[in-house]
Amino acid sequence: MSSKLSSTQIAWRAAQDITDGAYVNLGIGFPEMVARFQPPGREAIFHTENGILGFGEAPAVGEEDWDLINAGKKAVTLKPGTAFFHHADSFAMVRGGHLDVAILGAYEVAETGDLANWSTGPKGVPAVGGAMDLVHGAKRVAVITDHVTKDGKPKLVKRCSLPLTGVGCVTRVYTSLAVIDIEGGHFILREKLPSLSVEDLQAQTGAELLVPGPVADLLVPEL
């Protein structure tokens, strides 16, 4: 296995924890990959903020119907039972607590569960979309992300320095190096790459990693 997981492998790992029949919203971009990897015998029902519930996989290239797109403007297909509704009704579903899971990307995640994923600061282009609604409306909020930034700085930190999307909302983070829960204001290490020691992982994490019990090997297929 390589020294870190690819984005596709992180998405695969996150998909393994989605229960059968769960109503799921996937953030625009990287998190959309999670939909490719539903485990056999399980079927999630995917929701998109622009008003579709229960859509299918992406169409083959050249077979797109551009009247059928998700919130990220990517073409989708329909499945039996797919529902369409007004944008306002879609957000009412989010705000009303009807989604089981939201899986989002992140610039920073704090040990308190705070999430920053919509702005990189004064020079960035803000793009919050529905994220602020999702992190407070979904029953479970998970993040998928590289463990560090492109210049090697920790993305898992003690306190976020960037504008917040939500406070105390994230409960699990799937990174390129580990699976980490957030409980009681602390990062709890659950899984890590077998090639990486806890000390090496801690050196790349901006807050203390607690290890209250056995840490499982983070094993994913080559994708």
- Residue 176 has φ and ψ, to the nearest 5°, of -70, -10
Give the pairing of strands 209-210 and 186-192. parallel
CB 119 within 8 A of CB 163: yes
Average confidence score pLDDT of the chain: 93
Q: What is the pLDDT of residues 102-147, one digit of tens each?
A: 999 999 999 999 999 988 777 766 677 789 999 999 999 999 999 9
Mean pLDDT, residues 200-216 taken together:
96
CB 212 within 8 A of CB 190: no
pLDDT of 125: 67
Active-site entry in 32, 43, 49, 208: 49
How far is the C-alpha of 167 from the C-alpha of 48, rounded, in Å? 23
Least confident of 7-16, 19-28, 125-134: 125-134
How far is the C-alpha of 16 from the C-alpha of 18, rounded, in Å? 6
Residue 57: which pLDDT band, with cuts at 50, 70 and 90?
Answer: confident
Cα atoms in the Cβ-side hemisphere of radius 13 Å centred on 101: 24
Q: What is the DSSP string of 23-90?
A: EEEE-SSGGGGGGGGPPTT---EEEETTTEES--PPPPTT---TTSB-TTS-B----TT-EE--HHHH
Is pLDDT at 202 greater than 60 in this prediction? yes
Contacts with 218 (C-beta within 8 Å, 6 or more apart), sequence order:
5, 13, 177, 178, 179, 191, 192, 193, 194
Contacts with 18 (C-beta within 8 Å, 6 or more apart), sequence order:
24, 34, 38, 42, 44, 101
Least confident of 52-61, 115-124, 140-149, 191-200: 115-124
How far is the C-alpha of 199 from the C-alpha of 217, rounded, in Å? 15
Longest dimension (CA), the chain: 51
For the question of residue 49 being annotated catalytic, the response is: yes
Question: How is residue 203 written in tokens?
Answer: 């050196």
